[in-house]
Amino acid sequence: MRIACCLNSDATEWRDALRAALPGASVETWARDASPSEYAIVWRPPQEFFDTQPRLKAIFNAGAGVDALLNLRLPDGVPLVRLEDAGMAEQMADYVVHAVLRHVREFDVYESQARGGVWKPRAPRRKADFPIGVLGFGVLGEYVARSLQTMGFPVHAWTRTPKDAIGLRVFTGDAGLEDFLAATRVLVCLLPLTGETRGIVNRRTLALLRPEAYIVNVARGGHVVESDLIEALKEGRLAGAALDVFEQEPLPSGHPLWDQPGIAVTPHISAATLREESVEQIARKILAMERGDPISGVVDLRRGY
């Protein structure tokens, strides 16, 4: 079995880890003149990679989101498999819990007070006054929603298809979106970026949130209409936002989000791909495919995630 690694960084480390996990396989980093492979491990590959791979049985994306890959011409009929958690859910929960607590407990205010030598306690705030709405209740969204719930926050979620979730209200589809937003003061985005979800956080949806809402975007920059977010902040309709992802990455210098008061910027680090966990998951799925067993995490190309 031949496996090609085509990743934009650390490809040799992935090759070595896959060789260790699948001793019977021939694993190589991709080269233009290499023999075709049965399995591909990719992160942001060039189109040329797929154009030179006529024998693929499966493509494994070294990340959860496949939006960038779906802009390429993929070989017909070859399953595209994404990472499922592989150590990302816990990182994502850490990030979101931190962002939410920083806002609710006003640690951002205390940080700036401390820089000015100001000792000034503020009135306590109740978690009950900060209902959290999580857009997306998939592998990462559910873990994050449950973590926030464990912290004592009221939490609800929004999905495309109806879900039964114990102790948590799940709103569904276009029909459920307005009620979901009206119940939300802290909005966490954990949707995949698709034709349906692009620009979902916009002037109209921001206006439907509870007053002084706070946004946490850890999914894709394309979910948020950045100019609408800045406008809502300037008009005082939003309390702030923690943004890990942006329409253009790296966020260009001079971009208004860099120095917008109330905005916390991080460089797409909320949940990094962990090589060890990812290779273990991918190797397990390759072995299952070789046995003819079904695997999970196969992307539905029509719905885009």
Q: Which of 4, 191, 233, 263 binds ligand NAP (CB under 6 A)?
A: 191
Should residue 221 be labelled a site residue for ligand GLV when binding is judged by CB under 6 A?
no
* C-alpha atoms less than 13 angstroms from C-alpha of 77 in its C-beta half-sphere: 3
Residue from the set 9, 71, 161, 253 that interacts with ligand NAP by CB under 6 A: 161
Binders of ligand NAP in range 41-70 (CB under 6 A): 64-65
Q: Cβ(156)–Cβ(170) under 8 Å?
A: yes
**Catalytic status, residue 268:** yes
Is residue 63 close enough to count as binding ligand GLV by CB under 6 A?
Answer: yes
Cβ 240 vs Cβ 264: under 8 Å: yes
Return the number of the residue (25 or 222) whose C-beta is nearest ligand NAP.
Answer: 222
Q: Is 64 in the site for ligand GLV (CB under 6 A)?
A: yes
209 Cβ neighbours under 8 A, 6+ residues apart? 181, 182, 184, 185, 187, 238
Q: For residues 30 and 95, which CB has a smaller minimum distance to ligand NAP in the complex?
A: 95
**242 to 281, contacts with ligand GLV by CB under 6 A?**
273
Q: Does 222 bind ligand GLV (CB under 6 A)?
A: no
Neighbours of 281 (CB within 10 A): 22
**35 or 296: whose CB is closer to ligand NAP?**
296
Instruction: Please calculate the CA angle 218-267-74 and round it to the nearest 5 degrees.
Output: 70
Contact status: 295 vs ligand NAP (CB under 6 A)? no
**Cβ proximity to ligand NAP, 137 vs 153, nearer residue:** 137
Scanning 47-55, 63-71, 133-141, 230-238 for contacts with ligand GLV by CB under 6 A, the matching segment is 63-71
Site string for ligand NAP, 229-258 (x = CB under 6 A): ---------------xx-------------
Q: Which residues contact 122 (CB under 8 A, 6 or more apart)?
A: 106, 109, 110
Q: What radius of gyration, in Å, describes the C-alpha atoms of the chain?
A: 21
Joined tokens for residue 277: 């966990």
d(CA 222, CA 86): 24
Catalytic positions, please? 220, 268
Residues contributing to the site for ligand GLV (CB under 6 A): 63-65, 273
